[in-house]
Structure 1
Amino acid sequence: MNHLGDANLRTWTLRYTALLAADTQDQLAWLDGRELETKDVVEEMELLCRVSEGLAERGAFEAEDLRGLRAIGRRLGEIDATCRVGLWDDALATDSAWDDIRSLARQFLLTRLGDWRQPLPPRPVRPRTGDD
């Protein structure tokens, strides 16, 4: 097992899952006006769900953790292409899929860590403009 790399991926998976589990107001506060595309959120978590398979093989996740991550990945995969277009803050307000994903993420974190309220990932960096 690559302890450092696997530990970092495990931490990122848990933090990103915590972001998906957070209340909508907390998700919007995390965004803090940053423009994050919905497709980027979906693709990041789908990747982490796939990577978790290998992490479980190397002992960074338990086999039973995969059930929760697979459920999140399946639900993300059900978001059609038209709903992936646009900013995530808009999707949070208009697409009920995010309520389902929030529930699945909370269940996973409750099972894995005993509480769904966990540290969120670092905020995305605001792009620099010529005005900065």
Structure 2
Amino acid sequence: MNSLGDAHVRTWTLRFMALLAADIDDQLVWLGERELDTKGVVEEAELLCRVSEGLAERGVFEPEDLDRLRDIGCRLGAIDATCRDGLWADALATDPAWDDIRSLARRFLLTTLGDWRQPLPRPARPHTRNH
């Protein structure tokens, strides 16, 4: 990957981790009316954690950052398949795994950026269909 691509993936990783680290109320506000599947959130975060291995090899992330991302990836991987079904907003309120993930994401951001409180990514616009 080139340095521009590395920078983009690093930025997306930091923004996504900021979303995972946010207080549940902020996460729910960010979601708004969006019906985001838990499975999609888990898969996106797991992908970012895996891709970060290569970023660390190229010096984009520090070894301690990678350790924290591995911890997040492991915790995400431990989420039971049945807990991946349904909407993320519901999972945030009922599955304690998201409290663990929030804590791990905060530690990652503290190590990487010095503060876990970061701007959340801009939400994607809701998909609308033309009939």
Per-residue deviation, residues 28-80 of structure 1 (Å, max 9, x unmatched)? 11111100000000000000000000001111111121110000000000001
The two structures have a TM-score, normalised by structure 1, of: 0.95
- Confirm whether residue 74 of structure 1 aligns to residue 74 of structure 2: yes
Q: How far off its partner does 1:130 sit? A: 3.8
**Count of residue pairs brought into register by the alignment:** 131
Q: 2:85 maps to which residue?
A: 85
Q: Is the Cα contact below 8 Å between 1:31 and 1:124 reproduced in 2?
A: no
What SS does structure 2 have at the residue aligned with 1:116? coil
Percent of aligned pairs with the same residue? 73
Point out where structure 2 has 5 or more consecutive residues left out of the alignment: none
Q: Which runs of 4+ in 1 moved over 6 A?
A: none
Point out where structure 1 has 5 or more consecutive residues left out of the alignment: none
- Confirm whether residue 109 of structure 1 aligns to residue 109 of structure 2: yes
Q: 2:17 maps to which residue?
A: 17
Q: Is the Cα contact below 8 Å between 2:64 and 2:111 reproduced in 1?
A: no
Distance 1:18 1:30 in 2: 12
CA RMSD, Structure 1 to Structure 2 (Å): 1.1
Distance 2:91 2:51 in 1: 25
Q: 1:53 maps to which residue?
A: 53
What SS does structure 1 have at the residue aligned with 2:4? helix
